[in-house]
Amino acid sequence: MIKRKKSGELIIISGTTCAGKGTVVKELLKRNENLKVSISYTTRAKRDGEIDGEDYFFVQTDEFENMIANGEFLEYAKVQYDKYYGTSKTQVKKMLDDGYDVILEIDVQGAQQIKEMFPQTILIFIMAPSMSEVKRRIKARGKETKEQIIERFTVAYREINEISKYNYVVVNDNLDDTVSKVEAILISEKCRVDRIEEISVENQEEIIHEFLIDKDFNNEPLKIED
């Protein structure tokens, strides 16, 4: 009776620094075959353990700016330390057309750009349990200067003030619980009436006719009580 859209849903995952959003996305992908992640382009340096084409597409600034000029990005932004990040239009459109739900792990600025173009985008914000926990996680990395840590905190507080622009917020104090909550959000979004393409309901006479000749009822006459 219900015909759902063939195209997939667009999902944005944002969050404060060290909230664990990347880990949440990886776990979601492990558990859900119909989920795909859009790999962003960036001009920042590759970190230890990162793989080009899997974590990001790492490109030079001039190449990124040529892609901007050619209109190849769904959204892009220059964020921390003047580094570019962007989402490929072609990549996202192909996955959605193939029926996959697509996750974009992007910042607040990019999320709002996409929401304006695609109002039905599902926006989820991931938060760390507390800013003191964020501080602990940053220090545990031991790779950033005091100035860089302050910059991260400044950006984090600015992003927290944008939470009201999101559909959902999930506190990541336990990975399994967080992933389960995000999965529940995605399931509930699939059941929304405005995401149904078509509802086909037979007319009343056809319904009654099918009911009367159904073999499960042995064609016995209906008993209608007063």
- Quick one: CA dihedral 27, 3, 111, 188, positive or negative? negative
CB 129 within 8 A of CB 171: yes
Identify whether 173 is part of a domain: yes
The structure tokens listed for 173 are 């104090």
Whole-number pLDDT of residue 222: 54
17 φ, ψ (degrees, to nearest 5): -60, 140
Identify whether 44 is part of a domain: no
Identify whether 224 is part of a domain: no
Q: What is the CATH number of the domain that holds 152?
A: 3.40.50.300
Identify whether 34 is part of a domain: yes
Which parts of 55-188 are beta strand (E)? Answer: 57-58, 73-78, 84-88, 101-105, 122-127, 168-171
Identify whether 192 is part of a domain: yes
| pTM confidence score | 0.78
Cα gap 105→37, rounded to integer Å: 8
Whole-number pLDDT of residue 77: 86
Cα gap 155→144, rounded to integer Å: 15
Q: Which domain holds residue 184?
A: 2-38+101-217
Identify whether 160 is part of a domain: yes
Digitized pLDDT (tens) for each residue of the chain, 226 residues in all: 566 677 899 999 999 888 999 999 999 999 999 999 999 999 999 988 999 998 899 999 999 999 999 999 999 988 766 889 999 999 999 999 999 999 999 888 889 889 988 888 999 999 988 888 887 877 777 677 788 788 878 888 888 888 999 999 999 999 999 999 999 999 999 888 877 765 555 666 666 666 666 655 555 555 555 5
Cα gap 47→44, rounded to integer Å: 9
Identify whether 45 is part of a domain: no
What is the domain count for the chain? 1
Distance of CA 15 to the CA centre of its chain: 11
Identify whether 54 is part of a domain: no
